[in-house]
């Protein structure tokens, strides 16, 4: 049992781990804030940025640092526009239409 008045101290290893976790969370928050495609919920099989039909490890890494996504919702239509971060050149646009269900609270 701890002595009354003693301070809780972290070992250097735990401080390093805590710092690493805080840094990792800050990086993920920054990527999400800047619109990185890798943090937008896109499956890795859809990260084919050069259009050759396969998603390589390089393309998956590009989704975190080189590709941004912009989401737009117009009624039941949801579109995601993927573009290069450096020059804004579009890669592709994925759209889908969702129909409201009674659980959504929208009655016809």
pLDDT tens track for 11-52: 999 999 999 999 999 999 999 998 898 888 888 888 888 888
Query: Rounded CA gap, 36 and 22, in Å?
Result: 19
Asked whether residue 33 is assigned to any structural domain, the reply reads yes
How many domains is the chain partitioned into structurally?
1
Structural domain boundaries enclosing 44: 14-103
What does residue 50 show for φ and ψ, rounded to 5 degrees? -95, 0
Q: Which residues contact 12 (CB under 8 A, 6 or more apart)?
A: none
Asked whether residue 4 is assigned to any structural domain, the reply reads no
pLDDT tens track for 41-88: 888 888 888 888 888 999 999 988 899 999 999 888 999 999 998 998
pLDDT at 84: 93
Residue whose entry in the numeric block shows the structure tokens 């969702």: 98
Asked whether residue 108 is assigned to any structural domain, the reply reads no
Asked whether residue 7 is assigned to any structural domain, the reply reads no
Asked whether residue 5 is assigned to any structural domain, the reply reads no
- pTM: predicted TM-score of the whole model, two decimal places: 0.69
């Amino acid at each position: 049992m701890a002595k009354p008045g003693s301070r809780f101290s972290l070992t250097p290893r735990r401080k390093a781990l805590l710092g690493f976790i805080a840094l990792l969370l800050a990086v993920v928050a920054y990527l999400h804030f800047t619109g990185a495609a890798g943090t937008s919920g896109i499956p890795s099989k859809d990260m084919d940025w050069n259009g050759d039909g396969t998603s390589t490890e390089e393309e998956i890494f590009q989704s975190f640092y080189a590709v941004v996504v912009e989401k737009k919702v117009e009624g039941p239509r949801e579109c995601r526009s993927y573009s290069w971060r450096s020059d804004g050149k579009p890669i592709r646009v994925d759209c889908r239409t969702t129909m409201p269900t009674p659980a959504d609270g929208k009655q016809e």
